[in-house]
C-alpha cells in the first residue's frame, strides 16, 4: 500500500547516529543486560532496530526477547516501545505494540511498512542466543567491519551475561547458606538435647542457647574453656584430656573419626545427668579443624532421637561444605572471566594465563591444546604447581597430543567433542592411552591419579581442549569439578573463537582490497585498447573523406570486438561468483556428447593456442555421452584449457576424455611452470591464485567457478602438480 503524502517519512540515515545506548547505570539483571546488549549493538552498527533472543535453555521456560529501536524509527512508525527491562517479553505473549485495531502504531494503521534493506545476525552463548540487526532504508549491507565489531560485542556479551548469571548464582548460594544456618538454629532450639559449638581448640566462642538453658551458665561463664566447670568434678580431668587429645590429633586421624566421651553434666537445678558427648570437626582447607559441632545426649533418651540428630548434623556439615566449595568455584570462574574480559585478541597469551590461573586452584597440572589451520592438535601451554617440575614441563610441552587414530586423551576429547573424567588413573589405563613407550614414561613421571579433559566448543566445533591433572592425594575430581571445568572451557572457547573470527574478518578485508585492485586492473586492460581504437575511428571520420576504407574499419572493429569479449568474460565471471554465493547457480541438464563438445572447444582455442605457442591435442574414447548442462560443461573445459595455455610455458597441452559406465573423466595436462604444494588447495578458492597477478593477470575465479560447477553436477575436481614440470587437472562427472 502506498504511503499517504501526509505520513512521516523514514529518513535514509539515522537522525540519532550519535545516540548513546539508553540503559541504566546500575548493576543489571539478566533482562536489563539483554536490553543493554541490543541497545549497544544498534548504536554501534547505526542500525534502525536490534533484537536479542535467548533460548529456553538459557532464559528458562519459553526463552526471552528484547528489542531496541532508533529514535528516527520510533518517530516514523509511531512505536511506543518502553526502554529498559520492561521491553523484554517472552515469545508467544502479546506484543507490546499491537498490529491491528486502534491500539496499533500509526505505521500499521496507515498501511506503511518498511522491509529490511540490510540484515545482520550474530550468534552468542554457544548458539543459545541470537543478535539481529537491520537497517530499514539505506539499502547497504552491513560491512565485514560491522560484522567483526558486532561479533566482538557478542563475545563480550557472553562474558557480561555470564557475570550476571554468576552474581545471581552467588546470591542464591548465600541464601542457601543462610537458610541452612536458620534451619540449624531452629533445630538447635527445637531439640531436647544440648547442642554446642567450639573453635578448633575446644573453646566455646559463640552463643550456645541450649547449653545455657540446660546448665544455667551465662555466656561469660561458659565462654572459652569455662564450660568445663559444668562437668562433674570427678569427670573434669578425664574430659579435658580426651578433648585435648582429639583436638591435637593429626588431620589424617580426624578425617574418619569424631570426638566421643561419656560424663556427668550439671543441670540448672544443680543435679547431674549422665550424658554422651559427641562432636564432628569442620576442617580448614589445609585439613586442620576450624570448628567442632557437638551434642550432649541424655543416655536415658531413646536411640532414635540420637540417630536423627546425628543424621541432621552430618547433612548440615555436608551442605555447608558443598556451599563453601560452590562459592570457591564461583569465585574462580569470576576471576577467569575477568582475565578473559581484560585480554587482547592474542589467544596464546590469554589461554596461557588462564592455565596458570587454574593451577593450583583447580589442578596441579593444566594443558591447553588447540586445533591449528591444518586440523592437527597442537599443545599451546603447560602450567604446573611445583616449580621443580620445570624440566618435566618442557618435555610435556614438546610431546605432541598424538595422531587422530590413537587413544590419546586430548585427541579423543577434541575429535569426539566430549568431556573426559577419570577419577582413578591406573597403570593399565596409562598403557591403554599411551601413544608409545616414551609417552607412557612421561605420564608416569608426572604422577597424576585423576584427569579431567574438556573440549573448547564454539559454533558446533571443537577448537581445542583444556586438560587438568591431579597429583596431590587429597585432590579428587567430582562431577561438580567437571562442570566448573566445562564452564571455564566455554569461556576460553569464546575468546579463541572471537580471535579466529577477528583474524578471518581481517583476511576478508585484505582479500577484498586485493580483489578490487586486481579487478580494476583487469577491467582497465581491455578498456585502454578499446578507447584507442574508437579514437582512431573518430579521427578517420574527421578527415573529411567521403567514406572510411573498409579494411581500416574492419581492423578497428575486430580489435573492439576482442576487447568487448574480454570485458564480457570478466563480467560473466563476476556474475557467476554472485550466483554461486547466493545459491542461484542452476543447471539445465540435457543429453550431451562430451567428445563432440570437447572438439568444438579445442577448435575455438586454435588461435589462442598458436599465440601461446602451445599445441593442443584431444584424446577421447568413443562413448562419452551423458546428461549435463552444455553451457556449464563448456565453461569447465574453457577454464581448464585457458589455465593450461596461460601457464603452459609454450609446451604441448593434452585434453583427455575417458570413462566407464557410471562416470566420465576429463583430464587437462600441461608441461608448464607447475604449482607449489602449499598452493594446491587455495587455487580452488575464490580469488585464489598460485602466481602473481602482475605476471599472468586474471581475477582468480576460473578454478573456483569450475569446482562449483563440477560439484553442482555431483562430481569432483583434483589437481596433481610438480613445480617446473607441469600440472594435471582431473574432473570426474557422473553420467
State whether residue 241 is helix, strand or coil.
helix
- Counting residues of the chain whose pLDDT is more than 90, the rounded percentage is 14
pLDDT at 288: 77
**Which of the two residues, 693 and 459, has the higher pLDDT score?**
459
Instruction: Using the structure block, give the residue that is written with the C-alpha cell 550432649.
Output: 296
CA 664-670-672 angle, 5° bins? 155
pLDDT at 656: 93
pLDDT at 17: 43
Enter the pTM of the model: 0.44
**Phi and psi for 159 in degrees, rounded to 5?**
-70, -40
Q: Read off the pLDDT band of 429 (50, 70, 90).
A: very high
Average pLDDT, the chain: 77
Under 8 Å between Cβ of 717 and 707: yes
**Which of the two residues, 680 and 653, has the higher pLDDT score?**
653
pLDDT at 593: 93
pLDDT at 96: 41
CA 658-660-663 angle, 5° bins? 85
Q: Read off the pLDDT band of 16 (50, 70, 90).
A: very low
Under 8 Å between Cβ of 129 and 58: yes
Any idea which of 257-261, 581-585, 600-604, 638-642 has the lowest mean pLDDT? 581-585
pLDDT at 158: 76
Rounded average pLDDT over 693-713: 71
- Distance, in Å, from the CA atom of 125 to the CA atom of 247, rounded to the nearest integer, reads 49
- Distance, in Å, from the CA atom of 11 to the CA atom of 138, rounded to the nearest integer, reads 9
Nearest to 408 by CA among 434, 387, 431: 434
Instruction: Using the structure block, give the residue that is written with the C-alpha cell 587429645.
Output: 245
Rounded average pLDDT over 598-612: 86
pLDDT at 729: 93
pLDDT at 453: 93
pLDDT at 329: 78
Rounded average pLDDT over 247-273: 75
Task: Dump the DSSP string for 337-376.
Answer: HHHHHT--S-HHHHHHHHHHHHHHHT-SEEEEEEE-TTS-
**How would you label 680-715 residue by residue, b for 16+ Cβ within 10 Å and e otherwise?**
eeebbebbebbbebeeeebbbbbbbbbbbbbeebeb
Strand ranges (E), 55-136: 64-69, 118-124, 129-135
For residue 310 the three cell numbers come to 546425628
**Which of the two residues, 288 and 257, has the higher pLDDT score?**
288
Nearest to 635 by CA among 601, 605, 608: 601
pLDDT at 419: 92
> Looking at the predicted structure, is the pLDDT value of residue 321 above 80?
no
Rounded average pLDDT over 148-163: 78
Q: At what angle do helices 479-541 and 144-190 cross, to 10 degrees?
A: 170
> Looking at the predicted structure, is the pLDDT value of residue 181 above 90?
no
532's CB contacts (< 8 A; 6+ apart) are: none
State whether residue 622 is helix, strand or coil.
coil
Under 8 Å between Cβ of 117 and 139: yes
Any idea which of 294-298, 325-329, 456-460 has the lowest mean pLDDT? 325-329
Beta bridge partners of 733: 664
191 DSSP assignment: -
Any idea which of 340-344, 500-504, 677-681, 690-694 has the lowest mean pLDDT? 690-694
For residue 526 the three cell numbers come to 581491455
**How would you label 606-630 residue by residue, b for 16+ Cβ within 10 Å and e otherwise?**
eeebeebebebeeebeeebebebbe
204 DSSP assignment: B
> Looking at the predicted structure, is the pLDDT value of residue 667 above 80?
yes
Nearest to 491 by CA among 326, 359, 368, 328: 368
pLDDT at 218: 92
Instruction: Using the structure block, give the residue that is written with the C-alpha cell 573426559.
Output: 420
How many Cα atoms occupy the beta-carbon half-sphere of 720 within 13 Å?
Answer: 6
pLDDT at 623: 85
Rounded average pLDDT over 40-65: 77
Rounded average pLDDT over 38-67: 78
pLDDT at 79: 60
pLDDT at 114: 57
Question: What tens digit of pLDDT does each residue of 557-573 get?
Answer: 766 766 676 667 666 66
**Which of the two residues, 434 and 517, has the higher pLDDT score?**
434
Under 8 Å between Cβ of 177 and 208: no
**Pairing between strand 589-593 and 616-620?**
unpaired
**Which of the two residues, 667 and 549, has the higher pLDDT score?**
667
pLDDT at 366: 92
114 DSSP assignment: -
The domains located in the chain, with CATH, are 30-142 (no CATH), 173-330 (3.30.450.20), 372-504 (3.30.450.40), 586-734 (3.30.565.10)
> Looking at the predicted structure, is the pLDDT value of residue 27 above 80?
no
> Looking at the predicted structure, is the pLDDT value of residue 422 above 50?
yes
Rounded average pLDDT over 217-228: 90
H or E element that contains 668:
strand 663-670
- Counting residues of the chain whose pLDDT is more than 70, the rounded percentage is 73
Rounded average pLDDT over 156-173: 77
Any idea which of 17-26, 141-150, 291-300, 375-384 has the lowest mean pLDDT? 17-26
Most confident region among 19-28, 289-298, 481-490 by mean pLDDT: 481-490
From the number of C-beta atoms within 10 Å of its C-beta (0-12, 13-18, 19+), residue 334 rates as: middle
pLDDT at 69: 82
How many Cα atoms occupy the beta-carbon half-sphere of 603 within 13 Å?
Answer: 6
Question: What tens digit of pLDDT does each residue of 107-117 get?
Answer: 555 555 555 56
> Looking at the predicted structure, is the pLDDT value of residue 589 above 50?
yes
- Distance, in Å, from the CA atom of 399 to the CA atom of 406, rounded to the nearest integer, reads 14
Q: Read off the pLDDT band of 167 (50, 70, 90).
A: confident
Amino acid at each position: 500500500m502506498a504511503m499517504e503524502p501526509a505520513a512521516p517519512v523514514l529518513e535514509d540515515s539515522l537522525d540519532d547516529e550519535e545516540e548513546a545506548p539508553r540503559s541504566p547505570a546500575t548493576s543489571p539483571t539478566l533482562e536489563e543486560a539483554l536490553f543493554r546488549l541490543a541497545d549497544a549493538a544498534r548504536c554501534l552498527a547505526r542500525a534502525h532496530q536490534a533484537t536479542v533472543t535467548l533460548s529456553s535453555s538459557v532464559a528458562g521456560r519459553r526463552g526471552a526477547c528484547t528489542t531496541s529501536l532508533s529514535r528516527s524509527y520510533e518517530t516514523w512508525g509511531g512505536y511506543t516501545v518502553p526502554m529498559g527491562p520492561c521491553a523484554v517479553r517472552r515469545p508467544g505473549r502479546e506484543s507490546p505494540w499491537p498490529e491491528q485495531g486502534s491500539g496499533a502504531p500509526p505505521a500499521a494503521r496507515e498501511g506503511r511498512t518498511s522491509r529490511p534493506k540490510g540484515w545482520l545476525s550474530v550468534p552468542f552463548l554457544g548458539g543459545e542466543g541470537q543478535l539481529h540487526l537491520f537497517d530499514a532504508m539505506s539499502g547497504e549491507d552491513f560491512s565485514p567491519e560491522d560484522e567483526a565489531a558486532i561479533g566482538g560485542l557478542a563475545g563480550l556479551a557472553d562474558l557480561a551475561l555470564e557475570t550476571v548469571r554468576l552474581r545471581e548464582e552467588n546470591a542464591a548460594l548465600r541464601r542457601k547458606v543462610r537458610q541452612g544456618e536458620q534451619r540449624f538454629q531452629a533445630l538447635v532450639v527445637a531439640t531436647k538435647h544440648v547442642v554446642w559449638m567450639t573453635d578448633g581448640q575446644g573453646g566455646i566462642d559463640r552463643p550456645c542457647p541450649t547449653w545455657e538453658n540446660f546448665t544455667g551458665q551465662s555466656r561469660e561463664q561458659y565462654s572459652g574453656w569455662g564450660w568445663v566447670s559444668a562437668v562433674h568434678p570427678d569427670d573434669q580431668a578425664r574430659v579435658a584430656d580426651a578433648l585435648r587429645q582429639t583436638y591435637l590429633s593429626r588431620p589424617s586421624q580426624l578425617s574418619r573419626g569424631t570426638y566421643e566421651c561419656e560424663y556427668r553434666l550439671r543441670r540448672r537445678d544443680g543435679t547431674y545427668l549422665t550424658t554422651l558427648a559427641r562432636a564432628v570437626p569442620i576442617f580448614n582447607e589445609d585439613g586442620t579443624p576450624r570448628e567442632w559441632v557437638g551434642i550432649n545426649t541424655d543416655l536415658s533418651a531413646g536411640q532414635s532421637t540420637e540417630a536423627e540428630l546425628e543424621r541432621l548434623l552430618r547433612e548440615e556439615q555436608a551442605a555447608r561444605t558443598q556451599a563453601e566449595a560452590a562459592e570457591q568455584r564461583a569465585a574462580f570462574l569470576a576471576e577467569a572471566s575477568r582475565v578473559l574480559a581484560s585480554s587482547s585478541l592474542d589467544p596464546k597469551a590469554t589461554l596461557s594465563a588462564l592455565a596458570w590461573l587454574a593451577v593450583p586452584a583447580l589442578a596441579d597440572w593444566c594443558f591447553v591444546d588447540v586445533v591449528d589451520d591444518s586440523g592437527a592438535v597442537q599443545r599451546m601451554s603447560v602450567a604446573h604447581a611445583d616449580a621443580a617440575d620445570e624440566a618435566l614441563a618442557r618435555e610435556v610441552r614438546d610431546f605432541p597430543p598424538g595422531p587422530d587414530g590413537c587413544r590419546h586423551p586430548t585427541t579423543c576429547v577434541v575429535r569426539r567433542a566430549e568431556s573426559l573424567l577419570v577419577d582413578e588413573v591406573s597403570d593399565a589405563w596409562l598403557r591403554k592411552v599411551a601413544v608409545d613407550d616414551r609417552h607412557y614414561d612421561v605420564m608416569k613421571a608426572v604422577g597424576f591419579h585423576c584427569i579431567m579433559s574438556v573440549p573448547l566448543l564454539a559454533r558446533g566445533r571443537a577448537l581445542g581442549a583444556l586438560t587438568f591433572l591431579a597429583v596431590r592425594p587429597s585432590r579428587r575430581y567430582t562431577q561438580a569439578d567437571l562442570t566448573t571445568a566445562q564452564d571455564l572451557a566455554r569461556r576460553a572457547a569464546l575468546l579463541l573463537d572471537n580471535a579466529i573470527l577477528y583474524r578471518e574478518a581481517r583476511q576478508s578485508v585484505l582479500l577484498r582490497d586485493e580483489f578490487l585492485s586486481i579487478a580494476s586492473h583487469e577491467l582497465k586492460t581491455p578498456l585502454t585498447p578499446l578507447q584507442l581504437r574508437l579514437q582512431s575511428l573518430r579521427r578517420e571520420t574527421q578527415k573529411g573523406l567521403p567514406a572510411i576504407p573498409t579494411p581500416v574499419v574492419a581492423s578497428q572493429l575486430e580489435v573492439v570486438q576482442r576487447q568487448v569479449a574480454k570485458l564480457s568474460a570478466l563480467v560473466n565471471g563476476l556474475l557467476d561468483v554472485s550466483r554461486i554465493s547466493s545459491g542461484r547457480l542452476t543447471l539445465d541438464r540435457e543429453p550431451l556428447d562430451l567428445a563432440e563438445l570437447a572438439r568444438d572447444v579445442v577448435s575455438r582455442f586454435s588461435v589462442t593456442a598458436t599465440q601461446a605457442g602451445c599445441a593442443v591435442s584431444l584424446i577421447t574414447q568413443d562413448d562419452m555421452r551423458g546428461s549435463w548442462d552444455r553451457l556449464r560443461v563448456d565453461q569447465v573445459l574453457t577454464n581448464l584449457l585457458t589455465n593450461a595455455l596461460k601457464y603452459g610455458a609454450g609446451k604441448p597441452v593434452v585434453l583427455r576424455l575417458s570413462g566407464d559406465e557410471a562416470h566420465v573423466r576429463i583430464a587437462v595436462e600441461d608441461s608448464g611452470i607447475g604449482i607449489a604444494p602449499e598452493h594446491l588447495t587455495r587455487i580452488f578458492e575464490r580469488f585464489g591464485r598460485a602466481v602473481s597477478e602482475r605476471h599472468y593477470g586474471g581475477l582468480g575465479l576460473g578454478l573456483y567457478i569450475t569446482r562449483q560447477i563440477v560439484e553442482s553436477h555431483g562430481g569432483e575436481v583434483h589437481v596433481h602438480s610438480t613445480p617446473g614440470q607441469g600440472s594435471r587437472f582431473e574432473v570426474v562427472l557422473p553420467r
